[in-house]
Chains A and B, each alone.
Chain A
């Protein structure tokens, strides 16, 4: 089968660093993506990992370990405006282009 797990909620304070974990189980895996969504609006692409290791884009970094079927999104220097929902999404070959999304993590940044 195919499954993703990520925490439903994470709370952190401004200026801190937060890590949102994602574990997956899928055959034919080729990559892990992260999307941000605010108040049920358009999900916005944040990052993609096709190879093991860390990808950095400004305050956001994403990590993948294929051997552990695990990845995470790291947000640094948290700001109040980062309070959104964050989704990990798995891509797998021979799935007709389907991305499998997790249930989402609601991040709350407190002052």
Chain B
């Protein structure tokens, strides 16, 4: 079975531009979470979607938005890019909604976004 897949793997944008990152969860997984990881730090929670509904949102500005499609794939959109948005964006899927006991996240390899 394929793991969590993300595209693109690398992306270079300039300040003010908009970007869309894509994620396909493991087959059968209905929950997708997005995390931002800045070099040298741990991942920071951005969103969780389950059954196409937003279940949680981290402390990120409204420039960040996401959605989940009927096939459970997901997109993360970031508008008006800032230099500080440069990071590794990780998508993770799970079979159940995160926020309960014993959930296990399966991460993709991420999209490395560079904002110049």
Do B102 and A50 touch (CB < 8 A)?
yes
Residues of B within 8 A of A26 (CB): none
Residues of B within 8 A of A100 (CB): 45
Please, how many angstroms separate the alpha-carbon atoms of A35 and B112 in the complex?
Answer: 20
Please, how many angstroms separate the alpha-carbon atoms of A102 and B88 in the complex?
Answer: 16
Please, how many angstroms separate the alpha-carbon atoms of A40 and B111 in the complex?
Answer: 11
Q: Chain B interface residue count: which class?
A: 35 or more
A45 in contact with B104 given A93-B99, A96-B57 (CB within 8 Å): yes
A42 in contact with B90 given A48-B102, A91-B98, A96-B55 (CB within 8 Å): yes
18 contacts between A and B (CB under 8 A): A4-B42, A30-B101, A42-B109, A43-B107, A91-B99, A93-B99, A95-B56, A96-B48, A96-B56, A97-B31, A97-B56, A98-B56, A98-B98, A98-B99, A99-B33, A99-B98, A101-B43, A103-B42
Q: Which residues of B contact A (CB under 8 A)?
A: 3-4, 31, 33, 35, 37, 39-45, 48, 50, 55-58, 88, 90, 92, 97-110, 112
> Of all chain B residues, which has the CB nearest A30?
B101
Do B105 and A45 touch (CB < 8 A)?
yes
> Of all chain B residues, which has the CB nearest A92?
B99
Residues of A within 8 A of B101 (CB): 30-31, 50, 91
* Interface residues contributed by chain A, number (CB under 8 Å): 28
Please, how many angstroms separate the alpha-carbon atoms of A31 and B40 in the complex?
Answer: 24
Do A97 and B106 touch (CB < 8 A)?
no
Do B42 and A101 touch (CB < 8 A)?
yes
A24 at the interface (CB under 8 A from B): no
